[in-house]
Amino acid sequence: MNRGWRAWGPPVLLILPSLILIGVFVYGLIGVNFNTSLTDQHHRIGGDVAYVGFDNYKTLFQDDTFIYSLKNLLKYTGAFLAGTLVLGFVWAWLLEKGVKGEGFFRAVYLFPMAVSFIASGVVWRWLLNNAEGDRAGGLNRLFEQSGLGFLQNQWWTDPNWGVVAIAMPAVWQLSGYVMALFLAGFRGIPDELREAARVDGATEWQLYRHVIFPQLSPVALSAIVIVGHMSLKVFDLIMAIAGQTNYTTQVPAIQMWVEFTRGDYARSAAIGTILLVIVAFLIIPYLVYTYRQERLTR
Amino acid sequence: MSTSALPTADVALAPSGRRADHTGSVAMRTVRYALLTFFLLVVLLPAYVLFVTSFKGLGDATPSRAWSLPQSWETAGWDRAWEVLSPALLRTFSMVIPASIISAMLGSMNGFVLSKWRFPGADVVFTMLLFGMFIPYQAVMIPLVQLMQDLGVPSGVPSLIVLHVVYGIPITTLIFRNYYASIPTDLVEAARVDGAGMLRTYSSIVLPISAPAFVVVLIWQFTSAWNDYLFALFFSNSRNGPVTISLNFLASGQLQDYSASMAGALIASLPTLLVYIILGRWFVGGLMAGSVKG
């Protein structure tokens, strides 16, 4: 026992501060937050606080606006994932065979990632101006001037698909990142595999179908998890482009902030917990998967 | 994907021996370059708008001239933006620099312990830490505000340093752990056999070869703390907060002052863009290390 402690005592001590911090700030606070969501603390300074079970969750799921914001989140995530995966893959595919000036293309495709959502929101709010015709600005004006006037639309003010317009700047910012992932994936495929398939007489499509796509699937999984969890947390972009009061771009993270500013801590905490559960559906299988992989490779 | 590599972009993305342009006909190649250039222009479009609009005077703001160059290049928008943003810029630097350095040091120690000086259950601990990287901070925000008040951490820069350090632990630990996993275990074992203790081994063997990982982590933390808006919104205001708060304040005013907003967006992005341009190779390396794993 003593020997064991002497062997692993020091490393445990070294990592202990971080463990305590994460234990308190992540796991502990998730617990406290969940606890708050079960109370009737609807005011900033609430004298007596009573437990109301899952009432806050029930009210939320009966609230049309909250349901609308969940649907918005789903649409946004679908558009964001599809956009980044398609563009990221196409860019990587165009670059992977080796082109002159690859470094330059790569750098330009990636640069939006260095910019904050708030800063890119400034320019995208201008680009996604919803005025049309003579008053049109931004992209609508560009469409008008280049004879593509039929493409003009309401952008983020459309009640059904407005939130998808918010995904455009997100795609602009993150596609380069997904490209970098896919490019690394492409280049991790041994040349011998491709050659072997060619020798066997595989067509280009069969080569992709049976050799390249399977080899890229771990990368695609990483991309889906990284982009997906960012997408579910979308907040900054909407604040910068549409603001917190705009109805067509409501998502849970925005509503959580609005309830917080109103002092309705219980409701705000409940939205936070719901968001955590949604993200956990994506993240926990991924963490379990990577944990198993680690064990296998050790 | 190997867990070990902490590549710069050049290593991670180097063409694997195939020479450029040996595939496809001239027509194919032309189409490829045409597509690449088209996408290049699309990606640069917002940058063009930012740059051009920031130099426009008030009279230039009519919709019909939206995409034109300025009639006269004026810097009044830049002046207005600078006035609002310059105090916030200083605060952001004073927040981001200590936050990045402290979280890099924590990450380095954790990464070492989780890869080269292990203890029972290290993998479980690592996975538990990683979870903290993915959580939506909305799920801890209400009690977090309370906790920071109870701890007496002042709003603004001090609060944000604490938060970026704490919530940076998972990613910095991940990057360092992957980096240390790639260095030969013999190196550490040899020191151990020679009777060196853990701290001695860490400081004399591991730390001296950690520079590449430190660069990656510092860039990563610098960028994410600089660009953060969520924590800034909950834990500061436009008088004591970072530049994202001031920029959003400037840009979302009732009067749509586009030239000042766009100049402000450029000013606020300049530090991270410079880091990206100068140290881009490591930046991409950090991205890969942060994601391609397992």
Please tell me the predicted confidence (pLDDT) of residue B289: 55
- Determine the average pLDDT of the residues in A24-40: 95
Q: Which residue of A27, A98, A252 is in closest CB contact with B21?
A: A98
Closest CA relative to residue B84, chosen from A19, A134, A122: A122
Tell me whether residues A142 and B67 touch, CB distance under 8 A: yes
SS3 of residue A45 by DSSP:
coil
Query: What CATH number did the domain enclosing B89 receive?
Result: 1.10.3720.10
* B126 in Cβ contact with B175 (< 8 Å): no
| Any B CB within 8 A of A229 CB | yes
Q: What is the largest CA-CA distance in chain A?
A: 82
**Model confidence, pTM:** 0.90
Please tell me the predicted confidence (pLDDT) of residue B117: 84
Within 157-186 of A, beta carbons closer than 8 Å to B belong to: 169, 172, 176-177, 180-181, 183-185
- Determine the average pLDDT of the residues in A172-192: 89
Q: Which residue of B43, B139, B197 is in closest CB contact with A33?
A: B139
Tell me whether residues B14 and A137 touch, CB distance under 8 A: no
Closest CA relative to residue A152, chosen from A170, A134, A166: A134
Q: Residue B236's domain spans which residues?
A: 9-23+76-291
Residue among A5, A15, A294 with most chain B CBs within 10 A, to mutate: A15
Residue among B140, B243, B254 with most chain A CBs within 10 A, to mutate: B140
Q: Is residue B64 part of a domain?
A: no
Q: Hey, what's the torsion of the CAs at B33, B7, A171, B81, to 10 degrees?
A: -100
Q: How far apart are CA B180 and CA B209, in angstroms?
A: 9
What token pair was written down for A173?
């910012």
Q: What is the pLDDT of residues B216-242, one digit of tens each?
A: 899 889 999 999 999 999 999 989 999
Q: Is residue B220 part of a domain?
A: yes
In chain A, where the domains are located: 57-297
- Return the HEC string of A46-62: CCCCCECCCHHHHHHHH
Question: What domain count does chain B have?
Answer: 1
Q: Is residue B37 part of a domain?
A: no
User: DSSP string of B202-234?
Assistant: IIIIIGGG-HHHHHHHHHHHHHHHHH--HHHHH
Q: Which residue of A18, A121, A284 is in closest CB contact with B169?
A: A18
Q: What is the pLDDT along chain B (294 residues), one digit of tens a residue?
A: 333 333 444 444 554 444 444 556 788 888 999 999 999 999 999 999 999 999 988 777 677 788 888 888 988 889 999 999 999 999 999 999 999 999 999 999 999 999 888 888 888 899 899 999 999 999 999 999 999 999 999 999 999 999 999 999 999 999 899 889 888 888 888 888 888 788 888 888 889 888 888 988 998 899 999 999 999 999 999 899 999 999 999 988 766 788 899 999 999 999 999 988 888 777 666 666 554 443
Looking up tokens 């991924």 gives A286
Q: What is the pLDDT of residues A145-160, one digit of tens each?
A: 887 877 878 888 888 8
SS3 of residue A217 by DSSP:
helix
Please tell me the predicted confidence (pLDDT) of residue B286: 61
Tell me whether residues B291 and A114 touch, CB distance under 8 A: no
Looking up tokens 């491709």 gives A194
Q: Is residue B188 part of a domain?
A: yes
Q: Which residue of A26, A127, A131 is in closest CB contact with B49?
A: A127
CATH architecture of A57-297: Orthogonal Bundle (1.10)
Q: Which of A39-43, A120-124, B13-17, B256-260 has the highest mean pLDDT?
A: A120-124
Interface predicted TM-score of the whole assembly (ipTM), two decimals: 0.90
Q: Is residue B52 part of a domain?
A: no
pLDDT over 70, % of chain B = 87
* B146 in Cβ contact with B108 (< 8 Å): no
